[in-house]
């Protein structure tokens, strides 16, 4: 997991590898802390994710809801075809914005 702040209002978190149950058990606390810590909108780069399971989806939803309660956004982008298929099957885009690339994700943010 890597992070970078684009500006005072936006943080990008890049996830890599698998987001199955064992990986999410290790990743969820640091991911949630990075997403919540700065009071910024968060873009999650999924380009390096090769698999996402139910626990990974749950982690993203719970983080997105926490951001929403603070009036902030979480946007997903860059998912490879197989990961995107899973996101589509569970209609994750109805809960969290899911877009093709970083530019499209940035376009969804205010200002």
CATH architecture type of domain 2-102: 2-Layer Sandwich (3.30)
What residue spans define the domains of the chain? 2-102
Confidence (pLDDT) at 37: 79
* pLDDT value for 39: 87
66 CB-contact burial (10 Å; exposed 0-12 / middle 13-18 / buried 19+): middle
pLDDT band at residue 36 under the 50/70/90 scheme? confident
Query: In whole numbers, what is the pLDDT of the chain averaged over residues?
Result: 96
pLDDT at 110: 85
User: Can you list the pairs that 33-36 forms with residues at least 24 positions away whose Cβ atoms lie under 8 Å?
Assistant: 34/1, 34/3, 35/11, 35/63, 35/66, 35/67, 35/74, 36/63, 36/66, 36/67, 36/70
Name the DSSP class of 90: T
Q: What is the per-residue burial (b if ≥16 Cβ within 10 Å, else e) of 42-58?
A: bbbbbeebeebeebbbe
Mean pLDDT of 58-65: 97
Averaged pLDDT for residues 48-55: 98
pLDDT band, residue 96 (cuts 50/70/90): very high
């Amino acid at each position: 997991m890597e992070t970078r702040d684009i500006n005072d209002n936006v943080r990008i978190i890049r996830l890599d590898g698998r987001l199955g149950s064992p990986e999410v058990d290790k990743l969820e606390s640091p991911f949630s802390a990075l997403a919540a810590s700065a009071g910024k909108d968060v873009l999650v780069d999924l380009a390096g994710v090769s698999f996402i399971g139910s626990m990974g989806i749950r982690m993203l939803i719970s983080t997105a809801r926490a951001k929403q309660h603070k009036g902030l956004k979480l946007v997903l982008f860059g998912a490879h075809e197989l990961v995107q298929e899973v996101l589509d099957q569970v209609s994750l885009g109805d809960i969290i914005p899911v877009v093709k690339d970083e530019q499209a994700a940035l376009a969804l943010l205010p200002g």
